[in-house]
Protein backbone atom coordinates (compact mmCIF):
# COMPACT_ATOMS: atom_id res chain seq x y z
CA UNK A 1 0.00 0.00 0.00
CA UNK A 2 1.20 3.47 -0.84
CA UNK A 3 1.21 6.36 1.62
CA UNK A 4 -0.77 9.34 0.36
CA UNK A 5 -2.24 12.63 1.35
CA UNK A 6 -6.00 12.98 0.93
CA UNK A 7 -5.33 15.06 -2.19
CA UNK A 8 -3.28 12.24 -3.69
CA UNK A 9 -5.89 9.64 -2.71
CA UNK A 10 -8.67 11.62 -4.39
CA UNK A 11 -6.53 12.01 -7.51
CA UNK A 12 -5.81 8.27 -7.44
CA UNK A 13 -9.54 7.48 -7.25
CA UNK A 14 -10.18 9.64 -10.32
CA UNK A 15 -7.35 7.90 -12.17
CA UNK A 16 -8.57 4.39 -11.31
CA UNK A 17 -12.14 5.19 -12.31
CA UNK A 18 -11.18 6.94 -15.55
CA UNK A 19 -8.88 4.09 -16.57
CA UNK A 20 -11.59 1.50 -15.93
CA UNK A 21 -14.52 3.30 -17.59
CA UNK A 22 -14.27 5.72 -20.49
CA UNK A 23 -17.68 7.16 -19.54
CA UNK A 24 -16.12 8.87 -16.50
CA UNK A 25 -15.43 12.53 -17.26
CA UNK A 26 -14.04 15.18 -14.92
CA UNK A 27 -14.58 18.91 -15.12
CA UNK A 28 -15.02 22.13 -13.15
CA UNK A 29 -13.31 25.44 -12.59
CA UNK A 30 -9.55 25.08 -13.18
CA UNK A 31 -9.59 21.29 -12.79
CA UNK A 32 -8.04 20.59 -16.20
CA UNK A 33 -4.74 22.23 -17.10
CA UNK A 34 -4.27 23.69 -13.59
CA UNK A 35 -5.31 20.50 -11.76
CA UNK A 36 -7.75 22.19 -9.39
CA UNK A 37 -7.14 24.83 -6.75
CA UNK A 38 -6.05 22.07 -4.34
CA UNK A 39 -4.46 19.94 -7.14
CA UNK A 40 -6.87 17.02 -6.68
CA UNK A 41 -7.09 16.50 -10.45
CA UNK A 42 -3.49 17.32 -11.38
CA UNK A 43 -2.20 15.33 -14.34
CA UNK A 44 -5.56 13.90 -15.40
CA UNK A 45 -5.97 16.13 -18.45
CA UNK A 46 -2.48 15.29 -19.65
CA UNK A 47 -3.18 11.56 -19.24
CA UNK A 48 -6.77 11.33 -20.52
CA UNK A 49 -7.08 14.31 -22.81
CA UNK A 50 -9.18 17.45 -22.93
CA UNK A 51 -12.39 15.63 -23.77
CA UNK A 52 -12.36 13.73 -20.46
CA UNK A 53 -10.82 16.28 -18.08
CA UNK A 54 -11.49 19.91 -18.88
CA UNK A 55 -12.03 23.36 -17.47
CA UNK A 56 -15.48 24.90 -17.19
CA UNK A 57 -16.60 28.54 -17.03
CA UNK A 58 -17.04 30.14 -13.61
CA UNK A 59 -20.70 29.20 -13.45
CA UNK A 60 -21.73 26.62 -10.86
CA UNK A 61 -25.29 26.24 -12.13
CA UNK A 62 -23.90 25.71 -15.64
CA UNK A 63 -21.38 23.13 -14.44
CA UNK A 64 -24.01 21.12 -12.56
CA UNK A 65 -26.68 21.51 -15.25
CA UNK A 66 -24.30 20.31 -17.95
CA UNK A 67 -23.25 17.36 -15.78
CA UNK A 68 -26.88 16.34 -15.20
CA UNK A 69 -27.49 16.24 -18.95
CA UNK A 70 -24.33 14.22 -19.48
CA UNK A 71 -25.36 11.76 -16.75
CA UNK A 72 -28.86 11.35 -18.23
CA UNK A 73 -27.29 10.40 -21.56
CA UNK A 74 -25.03 7.73 -20.11
CA UNK A 75 -21.82 9.44 -19.06
CA UNK A 76 -20.52 9.45 -15.47
CA UNK A 77 -19.44 13.02 -14.69
CA UNK A 78 -17.35 13.79 -11.63
CA UNK A 79 -17.42 17.54 -11.15
CA UNK A 80 -15.70 19.85 -8.72
CA UNK A 81 -17.24 22.89 -7.06
CA UNK A 82 -14.16 24.87 -6.06
CA UNK A 83 -15.43 25.50 -2.51
CA UNK A 84 -18.63 24.22 -0.90
CA UNK A 85 -19.51 27.87 -0.27
CA UNK A 86 -19.92 28.32 -4.05
CA UNK A 87 -22.53 25.60 -4.56
CA UNK A 88 -25.60 27.72 -3.84
CA UNK A 89 -26.15 28.99 -7.41
CA UNK A 90 -26.36 25.31 -8.43
CA UNK A 91 -28.64 24.24 -5.58
CA UNK A 92 -31.78 24.38 -7.73
CA UNK A 93 -30.18 22.18 -10.38
CA UNK A 94 -29.09 19.66 -7.73
CA UNK A 95 -32.40 19.55 -5.85
CA UNK A 96 -34.91 19.98 -8.67
CA UNK A 97 -33.14 18.00 -11.39
CA UNK A 98 -30.35 15.66 -10.23
CA UNK A 99 -32.13 14.41 -7.12
CA UNK A 100 -35.49 13.95 -8.89
CA UNK A 101 -34.47 12.49 -12.24
CA UNK A 102 -34.84 8.81 -11.33
CA UNK A 103 -38.24 9.32 -9.69
CA UNK A 104 -39.81 11.73 -12.17
CA UNK A 105 -38.83 9.45 -15.08
CA UNK A 106 -40.04 6.26 -13.36
CA UNK A 107 -36.41 5.09 -13.49
CA UNK A 108 -36.15 5.49 -17.27
CA UNK A 109 -33.27 7.85 -16.50
CA UNK A 110 -30.76 7.90 -13.66
CA UNK A 111 -28.20 10.50 -12.67
CA UNK A 112 -24.81 8.87 -11.94
CA UNK A 113 -23.22 12.17 -10.97
CA UNK A 114 -20.60 12.97 -8.30
CA UNK A 115 -20.31 16.54 -7.05
CA UNK A 116 -17.03 17.04 -5.16
CA UNK A 117 -16.45 20.08 -3.00
CA UNK A 118 -13.95 21.15 -0.32
CA UNK A 119 -15.75 21.96 2.92
CA UNK A 120 -15.20 23.32 6.41
CA UNK A 121 -12.82 25.74 8.06
CA UNK A 122 -9.59 25.74 9.93
CA UNK A 123 -7.63 27.46 7.16
CA UNK A 124 -8.60 31.11 7.82
CA UNK A 125 -10.88 31.15 4.81
CA UNK A 126 -13.43 33.47 6.40
CA UNK A 127 -17.16 33.29 5.95
CA UNK A 128 -17.18 32.58 2.20
CA UNK A 129 -14.57 29.80 2.12
CA UNK A 130 -15.31 27.86 5.34
CA UNK A 131 -18.95 26.79 5.32
CA UNK A 132 -20.23 23.28 6.05
CA UNK A 133 -23.55 22.95 4.16
CA UNK A 134 -24.00 19.17 4.43
CA UNK A 135 -27.40 19.41 6.16
CA UNK A 136 -28.85 21.22 3.13
CA UNK A 137 -28.25 18.08 1.08
CA UNK A 138 -29.09 15.34 3.60
CA UNK A 139 -32.59 16.87 3.67
CA UNK A 140 -33.13 16.17 -0.04
CA UNK A 141 -34.53 12.78 -1.04
CA UNK A 142 -32.65 11.29 -3.97
CA UNK A 143 -29.20 12.50 -2.94
CA UNK A 144 -26.43 10.62 -1.16
CA UNK A 145 -24.00 12.57 1.02
CA UNK A 146 -20.47 11.50 1.92
CA UNK A 147 -17.64 13.04 3.95
CA UNK A 148 -14.37 11.08 4.40
CA UNK A 149 -11.95 11.87 7.20
CA UNK A 150 -8.76 10.33 5.80
CA UNK A 151 -6.99 9.33 2.58
CA UNK A 152 -7.92 5.65 2.75
CA UNK A 153 -11.63 6.42 2.96
CA UNK A 154 -11.37 9.30 0.50
CA UNK A 155 -10.22 6.97 -2.26
CA UNK A 156 -12.58 4.11 -1.40
CA UNK A 157 -15.65 6.29 -0.90
CA UNK A 158 -15.01 8.31 -4.07
CA UNK A 159 -14.76 5.10 -6.08
CA UNK A 160 -18.05 3.95 -4.53
CA UNK A 161 -19.65 7.31 -5.32
CA UNK A 162 -18.53 7.15 -8.97
CA UNK A 163 -19.90 3.61 -9.27
CA UNK A 164 -23.25 4.59 -7.74
CA UNK A 165 -26.17 5.08 -10.17
CA UNK A 166 -27.52 8.08 -8.26
CA UNK A 167 -26.14 11.56 -7.50
CA UNK A 168 -23.62 11.72 -4.66
CA UNK A 169 -22.53 14.90 -2.87
CA UNK A 170 -18.90 14.31 -1.89
CA UNK A 171 -17.59 16.70 0.76
CA UNK A 172 -13.83 16.93 1.33
CA UNK A 173 -12.69 18.56 4.61
CA UNK A 174 -9.96 20.78 3.27
CA UNK A 175 -8.19 21.07 6.63
CA UNK A 176 -7.51 17.34 6.26
CA UNK A 177 -6.13 17.44 2.72
CA UNK A 178 -2.49 17.26 3.81
CA UNK A 179 -2.71 15.73 7.28
CA UNK A 180 -4.94 14.84 10.24
CA UNK A 181 -5.95 17.78 12.44
CA UNK A 182 -7.01 17.43 16.07
CA UNK A 183 -8.02 21.06 16.61
CA UNK A 184 -4.79 22.20 18.28
CA UNK A 185 -3.89 24.87 15.76
CA UNK A 186 -0.78 25.92 17.70
CA UNK A 187 0.86 22.48 17.37
CA UNK A 188 3.13 21.39 14.50
CA UNK A 189 1.23 20.09 11.50
CA UNK A 190 1.14 16.30 11.20
CA UNK A 191 1.46 14.62 7.80
CA UNK A 192 -0.61 11.75 6.44
CA UNK A 193 2.67 10.13 5.49
CA UNK A 194 3.19 9.05 9.12
CA UNK A 195 -0.45 8.25 9.98
CA UNK A 196 -1.91 4.72 9.64
CA UNK A 197 -4.89 6.02 7.67
CA UNK A 198 -2.46 7.53 5.17
CA UNK A 199 -1.84 4.01 3.88
CA UNK A 200 -4.10 3.64 0.84
CA UNK A 201 -4.76 0.25 -0.79
CA UNK A 202 -3.77 -0.13 -4.42
CA UNK A 203 -6.32 -0.65 -7.17
CA UNK A 204 -10.05 -0.27 -7.07
CA UNK A 205 -10.87 -1.08 -3.44
CA UNK A 206 -14.28 0.43 -2.69
CA UNK A 207 -15.42 1.61 0.75
CA UNK A 208 -19.20 1.05 0.65
CA UNK A 209 -21.53 3.96 1.21
CA UNK A 210 -23.64 3.79 4.36
CA UNK A 211 -21.08 2.12 6.62
CA UNK A 212 -19.60 3.92 9.64
CA UNK A 213 -16.23 3.10 11.21
CA UNK A 214 -15.21 2.90 14.87
CA UNK A 215 -12.08 5.04 15.16
CA UNK A 216 -11.70 4.65 18.92
CA UNK A 217 -13.35 1.90 20.94
CA UNK A 218 -14.80 2.90 24.32
CA UNK A 219 -17.38 1.99 26.94
CA UNK A 220 -18.51 5.23 28.64
CA UNK A 221 -19.86 7.52 25.92
CA UNK A 222 -20.44 7.43 22.18
CA UNK A 223 -19.16 10.35 20.09
CA UNK A 224 -20.75 10.72 16.66
CA UNK A 225 -18.55 12.74 14.30
CA UNK A 226 -17.48 13.06 10.69
CA UNK A 227 -14.76 14.82 8.73
CA UNK A 228 -12.28 16.87 10.74
CA UNK A 229 -14.26 16.40 13.94
CA UNK A 230 -13.27 12.72 14.11
CA UNK A 231 -9.72 13.68 15.07
CA UNK A 232 -10.90 16.43 17.40
CA UNK A 233 -13.09 13.88 19.21
CA UNK A 234 -10.20 11.45 19.53
CA UNK A 235 -8.00 14.19 21.00
CA UNK A 236 -10.71 15.26 23.45
CA UNK A 237 -11.18 11.69 24.67
CA UNK A 238 -7.44 11.24 25.18
CA UNK A 239 -7.04 14.57 27.00
CA UNK A 240 -10.02 14.15 29.34
CA UNK A 241 -9.46 10.48 30.08
CA UNK A 242 -13.10 9.71 29.24
CA UNK A 243 -13.43 6.23 27.72
CA UNK A 244 -15.22 7.46 24.61
CA UNK A 245 -16.12 5.43 21.55
CA UNK A 246 -15.61 7.62 18.49
CA UNK A 247 -17.77 6.74 15.49
CA UNK A 248 -16.71 8.15 12.12
CA UNK A 249 -20.00 8.27 10.20
CA UNK A 250 -18.26 8.66 6.80
CA UNK A 251 -21.61 8.50 5.01
CA UNK A 252 -24.39 10.84 6.17
CA UNK A 253 -26.95 9.62 3.69
CA UNK A 254 -27.35 6.68 3.69
CA UNK A 255 -26.59 6.58 7.43
CA UNK A 256 -25.31 3.59 9.37
CA UNK A 257 -28.04 3.66 12.00
CA UNK A 258 -27.19 0.16 13.16
CA UNK A 259 -23.67 1.21 14.18
CA UNK A 260 -24.99 4.30 15.99
CA UNK A 261 -27.67 2.43 17.91
CA UNK A 262 -25.35 -0.42 18.85
CA UNK A 263 -22.75 1.93 20.26
CA UNK A 264 -25.16 4.17 22.20
CA UNK A 265 -27.00 1.20 23.66
CA UNK A 266 -23.64 -0.06 24.89
CA UNK A 267 -22.37 3.21 26.39
CA UNK A 268 -25.65 4.84 27.49
CA UNK A 269 -24.36 8.33 26.64
CA UNK A 270 -23.90 10.30 23.43
CA UNK A 271 -22.09 13.45 22.29
CA UNK A 272 -22.52 14.70 18.72
CA UNK A 273 -19.87 16.90 17.12
CA UNK A 274 -19.93 18.82 13.85
CA UNK A 275 -18.41 22.02 12.53
CA UNK A 276 -21.55 23.35 10.86
CA UNK A 277 -23.88 25.80 12.56
CA UNK A 278 -25.99 24.37 15.35
CA UNK A 279 -29.58 25.15 14.40
CA UNK A 280 -30.94 22.58 11.93
CA UNK A 281 -27.47 21.09 11.55
CA UNK A 282 -27.11 17.37 10.85
CA UNK A 283 -26.49 16.87 14.56
CA UNK A 284 -30.14 17.64 15.23
CA UNK A 285 -31.15 14.69 13.04
CA UNK A 286 -28.62 12.47 14.79
CA UNK A 287 -29.92 13.56 18.18
CA UNK A 288 -33.50 12.77 17.16
CA UNK A 289 -32.49 9.31 15.93
CA UNK A 290 -30.59 8.52 19.13
CA UNK A 291 -33.56 9.63 21.24
CA UNK A 292 -35.95 7.61 19.09
CA UNK A 293 -33.97 4.37 19.04
CA UNK A 294 -31.99 4.49 22.31
CA UNK A 295 -34.23 6.37 24.76
CA UNK A 296 -34.42 3.63 27.38
CA UNK A 297 -30.66 3.07 27.25
CA UNK A 298 -29.64 6.71 27.78
CA UNK A 299 -28.17 7.63 31.15
CA UNK A 300 -27.92 11.36 30.32
CA UNK A 301 -29.24 13.87 27.78
CA UNK A 302 -27.53 13.88 24.38
CA UNK A 303 -25.15 16.84 23.94
CA UNK A 304 -24.20 18.64 20.71
CA UNK A 305 -20.92 20.49 20.14
CA UNK A 306 -21.11 22.57 16.97
CA UNK A 307 -20.22 25.79 15.23
CA UNK A 308 -22.06 28.96 16.17
CA UNK A 309 -25.27 30.23 14.57
CA UNK A 310 -23.29 32.94 12.79
CA UNK A 311 -21.35 33.31 9.55
CA UNK A 312 -17.93 31.71 9.98
CA UNK A 313 -15.83 34.45 11.67
CA UNK A 314 -12.33 35.11 10.38
CA UNK A 315 -11.02 36.81 13.54
CA UNK A 316 -12.53 34.24 15.93
CA UNK A 317 -11.84 31.13 13.87
CA UNK A 318 -10.66 28.99 16.79
CA UNK A 319 -13.52 30.03 19.07
CA UNK A 320 -16.00 29.03 16.36
CA UNK A 321 -14.18 25.81 15.46
CA UNK A 322 -15.34 23.01 17.83
CA UNK A 323 -11.93 22.19 19.25
CA UNK A 324 -10.87 19.53 21.76
CA UNK A 325 -11.49 21.93 24.67
CA UNK A 326 -15.18 22.35 23.86
CA UNK A 327 -15.62 18.68 23.03
CA UNK A 328 -13.80 17.70 26.22
CA UNK A 329 -16.16 19.85 28.29
CA UNK A 330 -19.12 18.05 26.71
CA UNK A 331 -17.58 14.65 27.48
CA UNK A 332 -17.10 15.56 31.13
CA UNK A 333 -20.58 17.06 31.40
CA UNK A 334 -22.33 14.02 29.92
CA UNK A 335 -20.48 11.82 32.41
CA UNK A 336 -21.67 13.94 35.34
CA UNK A 337 -25.37 13.79 34.45
Contact, 17 vs 24, CB < 8 A?
A: yes
Taking every pair of Cα atoms in the chain, the longest distance, rounded to a whole number of angstroms, is: 60
Contact, 170 vs 157, CB < 8 A?
A: yes
102: pLDDT strictly greater than 90: yes
DSSP 63-122: HHHHHHHHHHTT-EEEEE-SSGGG-GGGHHIIIIIITTHHHHTTTSS----EEEEEE--S
Measured CA to CA, the distance from residue 99 to residue 141 in angstroms comes to 7
Measured CA to CA, the distance from residue 94 to residue 321 in angstroms comes to 28
pLDDT of residue 243: 98
1: pLDDT strictly greater than 90: no
pLDDT of residue 210: 98
Binning pLDDT at 50, 70 and 90, where does residue 337 land?
confident
pLDDT of residue 29: 97
Mean pLDDT computed over 122-151: 96
Q: What is the mean pLDDT of the chain?
A: 97
Catalytic residue, candidates 14, 103, 129, 184: 129
Contact, 11 vs 3, CB < 8 A?
A: no
Q: Is residue 254 reached through a cis peptide bond, with omega within 30 degrees of 0 on the bond before it?
A: yes
For residue 284, count CB atoms less than 10 angstroms from its CB and return exposed for 0-12, middle for 13-18, buried for 19 or more: middle
How confident is the model over 141-153, as pLDDT tens digits?
A: 999 999 999 999 9
280: pLDDT strictly greater than 90: yes
The pair phi, psi for residue 25, each rounded to 5°, is -125, 150
How confident is the model over 165-216, as pLDDT tens digits?
A: 999 999 999 999 999 999 999 999 899 999 999 999 999 999 999 999 999 9
pLDDT of residue 81: 98
pLDDT of residue 320: 96
275: pLDDT strictly greater than 90: yes
pLDDT of residue 199: 96
129 catalytic? Reply is: yes
Other C-beta atoms lying within 10 Å of the C-beta of residue 202: 10
pLDDT of residue 11: 98
Amino acid sequence: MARMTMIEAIREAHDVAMAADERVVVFGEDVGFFGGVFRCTAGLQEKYGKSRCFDAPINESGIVGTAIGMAAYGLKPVIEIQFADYVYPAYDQIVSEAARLRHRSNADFTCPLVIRMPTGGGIFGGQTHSQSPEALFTHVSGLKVVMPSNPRDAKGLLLAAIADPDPVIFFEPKRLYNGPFDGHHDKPVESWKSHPLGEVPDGDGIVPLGKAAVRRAGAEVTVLAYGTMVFVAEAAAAETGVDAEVIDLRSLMPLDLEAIVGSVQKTGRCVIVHEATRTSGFGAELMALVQEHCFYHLEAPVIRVTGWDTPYPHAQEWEYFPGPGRVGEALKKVMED
